[in-house]
Amino acid sequence: MPNQPDTESVKRYLMALQDRIRDALRDTDGGAGFREDAWERPDGGGGRTRVMRDGMVFEQCGLNFSHVFGERLPPSASARRPELAGRRFEAMGVSLVAHPWNPYVPTSHLNVRFFIAEKAGAEPVWWFGGGFDLTPYYGFDEDVVHWHRNARALCEPFGEDLYARLKRGCDEYFFLKHRNEPRGVGGLFFDDFDQGGFDRSFAFLRAIGDGYLPGYLPIVQRRWAKTYGERERAFQKYRRGRYVEFNLLYDRGTFFGLQSGGRTESILVSMPPEVSWRYDFRPEPGSPEEDLYERFLVPREWLDQDSESMPSI
């Protein structure tokens, strides 16, 4: 039947997307490339994890594809939709976290996923989710404006208000409540997405997956060779601690993976390879580190009139 959920088409797209991202990051890095581990989940399904370590540009990239299924949705998947508790489920997705060496290059994250929950005698309930976000350690207006311009362009064919709504969702989701600060400068975040039926929703997911690299790679290419020293590297490691805190305290994907019996090494490959914590750290007044807190880690509409007039470089 037309416009019915087609899990095989989603799976083919996601696996091809993982291949394309692997190739693009490998070519950008110019180093040794990715190690691949195929894995199986005892309760059903599995995936393939691709990891780049100690490259020329990237210190670590974790790039996962997973396709898992089971008889009961994990609590993390049904907490917001309790009427689905106890249903059989199928979930698949691609996720990426890229941690560059250079502190002037932001960490970035992409996730695109599909869920379907089924029960005998009832219509299946399905939805798409995902998005992408950017976590700079040193802020550059040009980079963040480019990131958000790209995000808005991807959303525009699907609704005039969609970018604003998904940007707000990203700002709200990637927020460390215990620190009262955002993880980075945002992007897009969506969940329970089924607007316009399966075909249109799937087209939106493809737009987000296909549009990630044009948003991120120009920033990498612009900044990766910029000179840095021990001060910048130390600050990068300190700020990476916030990434760890968010992933372990709030991230639904981490919870779902662990609760559903996924492969722990694959779930935690999003963690940065080197991190530090400092007690009660305060950046020096007037420093670039303070600028990150004062100008970038605050709620901001990057595509307002002032930002739009800024030349891209």
List, as own/partner pairs, every contact residues 226-229 make where C-beta atoms lie below 8 angstroms and the sequence separation is at least 24, other chains included.
Answer: 226/102, 226/104, 228/102, 228/103, 228/104
- Report the distance separating Cα 158 and Cα 233, nearest Å: 40
- Report the distance separating Cα 313 and Cα 310, nearest Å: 9
Domains located in the chain, CATH noted: 7-296 (3.40.1500.10)
- Report the distance separating Cα 250 and Cα 94, nearest Å: 19
Provide the annotated binding site for substrate: 95, 111-113, 261-263
Task: Give pLDDT < 70 ranges for the chain.
Answer: 1-2, 74-80, 82, 305-313
Expressed in percent and rounded to 5, the helix, strand and coil fractions of the chain are 45, 25, 35
Query: Taking a C-beta distance cutoff of 8 angstroms, is the pair 48, 36 a contact?
Result: yes
Residues with catalytic function? 109
- Report the distance separating Cα 211 and Cα 152, nearest Å: 11
Query: Taking a C-beta distance cutoff of 8 angstroms, is the pair 117, 84 a contact?
Result: yes
Provide the annotated binding site: 95, 99, 109, 111-113, 148, 178, 261-263
